[in-house]
Structure 1
Amino acid sequence: MQRPVHLSGMRSDERNLRLRAKRREEPDLGKLIEWVLGIAEARHRAWLNGDPDPYGIPPPDHLTPAPC
């Protein structure tokens, strides 16, 4: 069994904090759709301007260069 790491600069209560996650019954589809469409719009705008993909995702192989 490993011993906990001691961080001397932190108070004891700060060392004991844990990440907490809240689980939902159903995902918030509105926020998910907004997030996905925002990414798609940013990628499309960059493609039209001839800029690199802002997320570093390569375009599909069949996609031709943006019209000039």
Structure 2
Amino acid sequence: MAYGVGQVPWHDGRDGMYSWIWRHLPGNGWVKALISLVLIIAVVYILFQYVFPWAEPLLPFNDVTVDNQ
């Protein structure tokens, strides 16, 4: 079924990933917000400490070629 103008992808009962995560976190709104903040900080820390340094040699950012014209 194609989505028409004004319809959202979750109109048929599906909801988004973030609402699923929010519903499954324990506690009230403030506790969920605090847990979400801690999870976001943990993901950013893991990305900067482990994933990005591992991936940096694989990326072609230092392979710059400039020709004299």
TM band (smaller chain) = 0.3 to 0.5
Query: TM-score of the superposition, structure 2-length normalised?
Result: 0.33
Query: TM-score of the superposition, structure 1-length normalised?
Result: 0.33
Structure whose CA Rg is larger:
1
Higher RCO by CA contacts (8 Å cutoff, separation 6 or greater): 1
